[in-house]
């Protein structure tokens, strides 16, 4: 594959350019990987030193009190991601099915395009939107408002991955099922989804991971709290990400250390979900495709 | 027969409703932002976009410092991030062709790094990276190239400024941009490469003269997508940029950005001040809309039939 090594027809200048570009490409790879490894190492070292069972369950404490924990933030994050999943999975999967099974309809084209646009949308704007439609109406910050904001981020991801994995299902399966007299809706729900379910699951898990790491949509909708959540409709709710933001910019060393601890928990959750998808489901997915 | 038809109708309607919801969401979003900012739009008109004063107490509100901060940090992020992403993508897709498993492993690592939450980049940025950057990069740049307006200011210790925010953004968008570029390079037919190799071209000549021109519009799409992420990013910027509205050519000065303003000030704002911040969100909405539509169109054209990630 390499240049015609040993052939004198390749001039020294072309060889020099080729070598220099190879070096530049390697430099780029190093420049890309080093900061990212640096970030992970920093989170692991700084975060690892504060994590304990108490840290995971205790209530937050003052900026000089090392016994404070992130219990309410973990509970809040799980609650809000749960609410977001309940809203976004039916809508996202439904829209995804529509994109793939009615792909030639006008609604599918327009909505599919808007869906792609929404995927890369500034999450802060989505938070502001949910503030206007929910927090201004109920006059309360709440886990529900936070969950709705997160669901608006999850829906486009779930819809796109659903439609992509369902469009991989061969048409012959659909035709075989319909030829047996099975109605279209049963064909879709039993045959198409049955075949494409690993891809569908992948999309859902990745979107849950994404929602767990979101901060901006929660700032205006769930705000922050130091207490465990008791009601999803009428109280500001803590989350891991907002806690990292508030503690990280507080200027107090104890809180900064705890922000690293929370960041480690968050990264473990997200990398865990992503690795699960890559290694467990992803493997099944490639095997399913090869069959 | 009756039952079957009804089942089909209900299913079609329910699924179409879900698809319709996405349209309603985007339309509702723009409508609410327009409604919420109408008093500000009426008061300031087009002057809002070019006004450089931000003084809520005197109702002197202009969005230029925030637009400026968003543009400058995104520009820095792209200028650093694009060449690096391109290098990573070329390395994985072109140079590791013979070692697919290494390429797959490296690609997986880069993909996983795209999953690190932005608030963690922000935390790392403000507590670790910005102070290092200020000490080892910004200070020498200022000392040796201080006559260049970009480096004319003396960076202060904490390093919360345009430059560090831009560099953190670059680190953040590299995984996304290199992943998309990699997909685009994979879509180049092998015959393109083989033709060049058969003429005796070197590795770089193959990349430069057949792979890159073939995937030009897709790489441009990746660039626009990365730009979209940089422009829309809140957390990494709000924690690192310093949050002081300013318009200056000095990159080592604190600044502010559109999304950072919303994150910091919307909660306490009311009346016209609040409407002005909603208008800032509307500006961000339109910028993001244009960038995203543009990127999608480019990538759709380039990789029709193959999968492109978000």
| Residues A218, A242 contacting (CB under 8 angstroms) | yes
On whether residue B2 sits in a domain, the answer given is no
Q: Could you give the count of Cα atoms lying within 13 Å of B265 in the half-sphere of its Cβ?
A: 26
On whether residue B26 sits in a domain, the answer given is no
On whether residue B146 sits in a domain, the answer given is yes
What CATH number did the domain enclosing A222 receive? 1.10.3720.10
Residue B143 has pLDDT above 70, yes or no: yes
**pLDDT recorded at residue B3:** 55
Cα nearest neighbour of A89 on chain B: B18
Q: Could you give the count of Cα atoms lying within 13 Å of B253 in the half-sphere of its Cβ?
A: 18
**A-B contacts at Cβ under 8 angstroms:** 284
Angstrom CA distances, A56 to A41, A52, A74, A241, A265, stand at 21, 7, 8, 14, 9
CA distance A71 to A229: 10
Pairing of strands B54-55, B60-61: antiparallel
Rounded to a whole number, what is the distance in Å from the CA of A154 to chain B's nearest CA?
12
User: What is the mean pLDDT, run by run of 10 residues, along chain A of 291 residues?
Assistant: 53 91 94 90 95 92 90 96 97 96 93 89 94 94 97 96 92 93 91 90 92 95 93 94 96 95 95 82 53 37
Among A150, A286, A290, A118, CA closest to A220: A150
Q: Chain A contact for B304, CB < 8 A?
A: no
Q: Chain B contact for A107, CB < 8 A?
A: yes
B15–A113 CB contact, under 8 Å: no
CA distance B195 to B198: 5
On whether residue B10 sits in a domain, the answer given is no
Angstrom CA distances, B31 to A191, B27, B36, B177, B259, stand at 40, 6, 9, 31, 19
Confidence grade of residue B303 (pLDDT, cut at 50, 70, 90): low
Q: Please report the sign of the dihedral spanned by the C-alpha atoms of residue B98, residue B103, residue B105, residue B106.
A: positive
Confidence grade of residue B306 (pLDDT, cut at 50, 70, 90): very low
Tokens of A195: 């075949």
A29–B91 CB contact, under 8 Å: yes
Among A257, A50, A239, CA closest to B117: A239
Q: How far is CA B276 from the centre of its chain?
A: 23
Listed in sequence order, the residues at least 6 apart from B65 whose beta carbon sits closer than 8 Å to its beta carbon are B52, B54, B245, B246, B247, B255, B256
What CATH number did the domain enclosing B284 receive? 1.10.3720.10
CA distance B54 to B56: 6
CA distance A223 to A143: 9
| Residues A241, A78 contacting (CB under 8 angstroms) | no
pTM attached to this predicted model? 0.90
On whether residue B7 sits in a domain, the answer given is no
Number of structural domains found in chain A: 1
Number of structural domains found in chain B: 1
Angstrom CA distances, B143 to A109, A236, B152, stand at 55, 48, 9
| Residues A222, A245 contacting (CB under 8 angstroms) | no
Q: For B174-202, what is each residue's pLDDT tens digit?
A: 998 998 899 889 889 999 899 999 998 99
| Residues B121, B172 contacting (CB under 8 angstroms) | yes
Tokens of A290: 């090869």
Range of the domain at B41: 37-302
On whether residue B22 sits in a domain, the answer given is no
Chain A 215-244, CB below 8 Å of chain B: which residues? 215-216, 219-220, 223, 241, 244
State the ipTM, two decimals. 0.90
Among A123, A31, A40, A46, CA closest to A84: A123
Phi and psi for B61 in degrees, rounded to 5? -125, 120
Residues of A in contact with B179 (CB under 8 A): none
CA distance B8 to B2: 10
Residue with tokens 């697919």: B100
Alpha helices in chain B (DSSP H): 2-36, 38-44, 47-50, 64-90, 100-113, 118-124, 130-133, 139-145, 162-186, 190-198, 203-206, 212-214, 216-232, 235-240, 258-265, 271-302
Residue B105 has pLDDT above 90, yes or no: no
On whether residue A32 sits in a domain, the answer given is no
Tokens of A76: 């809040």
Mean pLDDT to the nearest integer, B54-77: 92
On whether residue B292 sits in a domain, the answer given is yes
On whether residue B227 sits in a domain, the answer given is yes
Q: Poorest-confidence range of B79-88, B211-220, B229-238?
A: B211-220
CA distance A74 to A83: 14
On whether residue A211 sits in a domain, the answer given is yes
**pLDDT recorded at residue A284:** 56
DSSP states along A77-127: HHHHHHHHHHHHHHHHHHHHHHHHHTTTSHHHHHHHHHHHHHHT--HHHHH
CA distance A144 to A138: 11
Give the 3-state secondary structure of residue A73: helix
Tokens of B42: 């009426």
Listed in sequence order, the residues at least 6 apart from B1 whose beta carbon sits closer than 8 Å to its beta carbon are none
Rounded to a whole number, what is the distance in Å from the CA of B44 to chain A's nearest CA?
21
Nearest CB among B87, B117, B292 relative to A121 is that of B292
Range of the domain at A270: 72-290
**pLDDT recorded at residue A291:** 37
**pLDDT recorded at residue B64:** 94
């Amino acid at each position: 594959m390499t240049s015609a090594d040993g052939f004198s027809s390749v001039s020294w200048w072309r060889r020099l350019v080729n070598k220099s570009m190879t070096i530049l490409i390697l430099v780029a790879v190093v420049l890309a990987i080093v900061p990212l490894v640096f970030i992970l190492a920093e989170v692991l070292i700084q975060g690892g030193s504060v994590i304990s069972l108490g840290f995971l369950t205790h209530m937050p404490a003052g900026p000089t009190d090392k016994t404070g924990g992130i219990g309410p933030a973990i509970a809040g994050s799980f609650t809000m991601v749960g609410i977001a999943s309940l809203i976004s999975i039916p809508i996202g999967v439904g829209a995804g099915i529509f994109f793939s099974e009615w792909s030639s309809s006008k609604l599918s084209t327009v909505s599919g395009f808007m869906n792609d646009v929404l995927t890369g949308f500034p999450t802060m704007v989505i938070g502001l939107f949910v503030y206007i439609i929910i927090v201004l109406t109920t006059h309360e910050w709440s886990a529900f408002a936070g969950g709705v904001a997160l669901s608006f981020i999850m829906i486009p991801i779930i819809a796109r991955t659903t439609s992509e994995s369902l469009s991989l299902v061969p048409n012959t399966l659909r035709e075989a099922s319909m030829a047996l007299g099975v109605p279209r809706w049963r064909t879709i729900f039993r045959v198409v989804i049955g075949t494409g379910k690993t891809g569908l699951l992948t999309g859902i898990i990745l979107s849950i991971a994404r929602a767990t790491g979101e901060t901006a949509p929660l700032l205006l909708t769930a705000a922050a709290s130091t207490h465990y959540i008791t009601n999803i409709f009428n109280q500001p709710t803590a989350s891991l990400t907002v806690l990292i933001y508030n503690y990280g910019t507080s200027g107090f060393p104890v809180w900064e250390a705890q922000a690293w601890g929370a960041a480690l928990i968050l990264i473990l959750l997200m990398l865990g979900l992503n690795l699960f998808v890559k290694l467990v489901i992803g493997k099944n997915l490639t095997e399913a495709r090869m069959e | 027969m009756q039952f079957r038809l009804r089942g089909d109708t209900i299913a079609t309607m329910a699924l179409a409703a879900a698809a319709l919801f996405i349209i309603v969401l985007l339309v509702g979003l723009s409508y609410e932002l327009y409604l919420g900012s109408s008093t500000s739009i009426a008061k300031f008109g087009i002057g809002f976009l070019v006004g450089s004063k931000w003084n809520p107490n005197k109702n002197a509100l202009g969005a230029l410092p925030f637009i400026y901060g968003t543009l400058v940090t995104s520009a820095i992020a792209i200028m650093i991030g694009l060449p690096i992403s391109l290098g990573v993508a070329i390395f994985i897709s072109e140079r590791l062709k013979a070692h697919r498993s290494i390429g797959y492993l490296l690609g997986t690592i880069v993909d996983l790094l795209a999953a690190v939450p932005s608030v963690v980049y922000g935390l790392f940025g403000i507590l670790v990276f910005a102070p290092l950057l200020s000490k080892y990069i910004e200070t020498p740049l200022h000392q040796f190239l201080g006559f260049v307006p970009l480096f004319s200011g003396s960076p202060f210790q904490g390093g919360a400024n345009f430059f560090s925010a831009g560099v953190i953004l670059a680190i953040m968008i590299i995984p996304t941009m290199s992943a998309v570029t990699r997909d685009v390079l994979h879509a180049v037919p092998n015959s393109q490469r083989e033709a060049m190799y058969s003429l005796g071209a070197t590795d770089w000549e193959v990349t430069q003269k057949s792979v890159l021109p073939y995937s030009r519009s897709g790489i441009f799409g990746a660039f626009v997508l990365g730009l979209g992420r940089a422009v829309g990013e809140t957390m990494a910027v709000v924690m690192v940029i310093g949050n002081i509205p300013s318009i200056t050519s000095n990159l080592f000065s604190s600044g502010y950005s559109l999304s950072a303003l919303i994150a910091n000030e919307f909660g306490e704002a009311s009346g016209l001040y609040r409407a002005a911040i909603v208008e800032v969100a509307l500006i961000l909405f339109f910028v993001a809309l244009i960038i995203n539509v543009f990127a999608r169109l480019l990538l759709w054209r380039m990789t029709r039939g193959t999968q492109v990630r978000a």
